[in-house]
Amino acid sequence: MLRLLVAEGNRATDRRRIADSAGATPGESYAKLLGMFAPKARIDICAPADADAAIPLPLDAYQGVAFTGSALNIYKREPESLRQVDFMRELFARVVPTFGSCWGLQVAAVAAGGEVAPNPRGKEVAFARKITLTGAGRLHPMHKGRAAVFDAPAIHGDEIVRLPENTLVTASNHMSEVQAAEIRCGRGVFWGVQYHPEYDFHDIATTLLRYGSKLVEEGFFRNAEELQHYAAELEILQSDPQPGDIAWRYRLGLDLLEARSRACEISNWIDWRVRAQSVDHR
């Protein structure tokens, strides 16, 4: 039986705030998705941002660890961020297969010696468009089944500005040169993406509503009513994700409408890193 660990990237106050709006913490949502691809796995959740964080089992007992996104900014060097960098370094040292979405990719980059900063191009909101696989990315198992160009759920304003050594960039777009990468540190191997393959339309809608007036102020929406209408239409897609008027209006293809297509990289990580390494170690 596989044992997987989800590392929740948010501090306690943000976890509660997200759960109040979305109905679950990011860690809980991530664990549910992992369960779809590994239905017989035991999946635990930890919060390495917390000073008193506890892990249910020793790290060596887990065949894989997945990092969620976070409302934190790693360059602020707050204790909640630095604890997660230390945790990632331990995962590298213990050679535990690790995956990360958005924040998780940034934590891995910093843990391996890279740097993250605010994106001068601004925020990437709701969907990252025209993500393009690099030559290496087209051959990388993390992206098996992906088209050469695709869209994905996204919400971030920071990006990797200096790559650590032994990093292979596998995807980029006009907003971020590093949309996906493999990072090697010592004998440890991390796969990660700047977008959110774990998000569904409900996650995107509730995230936009939490940002609320800030998105209006920054010009993503003309007013609060327009933002609320957009979020409401995403919730309709959540209940009936069929190509139709809403999908056409927002240019949403099957790479976004089909849950397994959205989560392609996570599924591949479980197959190619978690299960493969588990078999190799028997």
List the Cα angle 264/267/269 in 5-degree steps.
105
Could you read off the pLDDT of 148-177 as tens digits, one per residue? 999 999 999 999 999 999 999 999 999 999
> What pLDDT score was predicted for residue 282?
41
Looking only at the bridges linking them, the beta strands covering 149-156 and 124-133 are antiparallel
> What pLDDT score was predicted for residue 244?
86
Domains in the chain (CATH in brackets) are 3-198+263-280 (3.40.50.880), 201-255 (no CATH)
Q: Which amino acid is at 34?
A: L
- 80 assigned to active site: no
The candidate with the shortest Cα–Cα distance to 3, out of 51, 53, 46, is 46
**Candidates 8, 28, 46, 102; catalytic one:** 102
Mean pLDDT per 10-residue interval, the chain, length 282 residues: 97 97 97 97 98 95 98 98 98 98 98 98 97 98 98 97 98 98 98 98 97 95 97 95 88 94 97 81 45
Q: Provide φ and ψ at 140, rounded to 5°.
A: -85, 135
- Partnered with residue 139 across adjacent β-strands are none
Q: Are 22 and 60 in contact (CB under 8 A)?
A: no
- Partnered with residue 192 across adjacent β-strands are 100, 181
Distance CA 26, CA 109 (A): 21
**Candidates 196, 202, 264, 265; catalytic one:** 196
> What pLDDT score was predicted for residue 130?
98
Q: 3-state class of 278 per DSSP?
A: helix
- 198 assigned to active site: yes
- 196 assigned to active site: yes
Q: 3-state class of 66 per DSSP?
A: strand
The candidate with the shortest Cα–Cα distance to 84, out of 61, 59, 101, 67, is 67
> What pLDDT score was predicted for residue 276?
81
**Candidates 124, 182, 198, 265; catalytic one:** 198
Here the tokens at position 261 are 């297509």
Distance CA 132, CA 117 (A): 22
> What pLDDT score was predicted for residue 241?
79
Could you read off the pLDDT of 216-269 as tens digits, one per residue? 999 999 999 999 999 999 999 999 877 689 999 999 999 999 999 999 999 999
